[in-house]
Amino acid sequence: MIVKRGDLQREFARVRRVFFPRWDRKREWHVRWFPDLCGADGKCFRGTKVIGIAHGVRMKDLTLVLIHESAHAVVFGGENERWKARMRRAAQKAEKLGENRLAKQIQAEVRAYRRQSAISFDPSYVQDRMEDIASENPAVTFDAAVAILRRECAATEADFLKHFGKAARAGWREGKRLPRLWEAARARRTSTEP
C-alpha cells in the first residue's frame, strides 16, 4: 500500500515521539515528499531540517525509513558507529513495544551497513582527505575543498566545520606544503646528478 500524506505526517510524529523522544523538542524538523531522491527511499536534509521521503515508499517500509533518516538527524556523519548504536537503540525500543517485525528490519539495516566498507567520517579521515585534495589540486581553494568533503558526508558547511574544521585546516596546511617539499626534493636530486 502506498503512503498517503496524512499517514506520512502521523507516522513521523509517532517515530519522533516513540523512538527519538529527546530529539527535536521544538518541532523544527519536518517530513515531506520528494519526487526523486536519486534512488533512495529517504534522505536527511540537515541544513533545512527536513526528512525527505521518496514518492512510492510503501507503508510497510515507511517506519524503517523514518527511523533511519531521523537517526541521521540525531547523529552526524553518515552510517558511522554512533548512527549504528542509535539504530540499535531504536530496535530495542521496537522489541520492547512488541513491534518485532520492525525490530528485525532495523537490525538487518544495521547489519547491512556493518558489512559495507562505508567511509567513516572522523577527523583523521577528513585531515587525510583534505591533504590529498590540497596537494593534488593546486588551484583549488579551501572553500571548494570543504564543499567537496561536506557533500561526501552529506553535511551542511556549518555542521562540517563545527565537527571537522580543525582537522580540515590541518590537512589543508599540510597538503599545500607537500608540493613545495616535493619540488625541493626534486631540485636537490637534479642538482646532485652528474
Q: For position 140, what pLDDT does the model report?
A: 85
Q: Quickly list H helices, 27-156.
A: 59-74, 81-96, 100-115, 123-136, 142-152
Per-residue pLDDT tens over the stretch 130-162: 888 887 777 889 998 898 888 777 677 888 888
Per-residue pLDDT tens over the stretch 29-54: 999 998 877 678 898 887 788 999 98
pLDDT over threshold 90, residue 193: no
Average pLDDT over residues 42-69: 90
Q: For position 117, what pLDDT does the model report?
A: 43
Neighbours of 111 (CB within 10 A): 11
User: Domains, the chain, ranges and CATH?
Assistant: 5-115 (3.30.2010.10), 123-192 (no CATH)
pLDDT over threshold 50, residue 28: yes
**CA-based angle 106:110:112, to the nearest 5?**
115
Per-residue pLDDT tens over the stretch 70-101: 999 998 767 778 888 999 999 999 999 999 99
pLDDT over threshold 60, residue 27: yes
- pTM score: 0.63
Q: Which residue has the higher pLDDT, 105 or 185?
A: 105
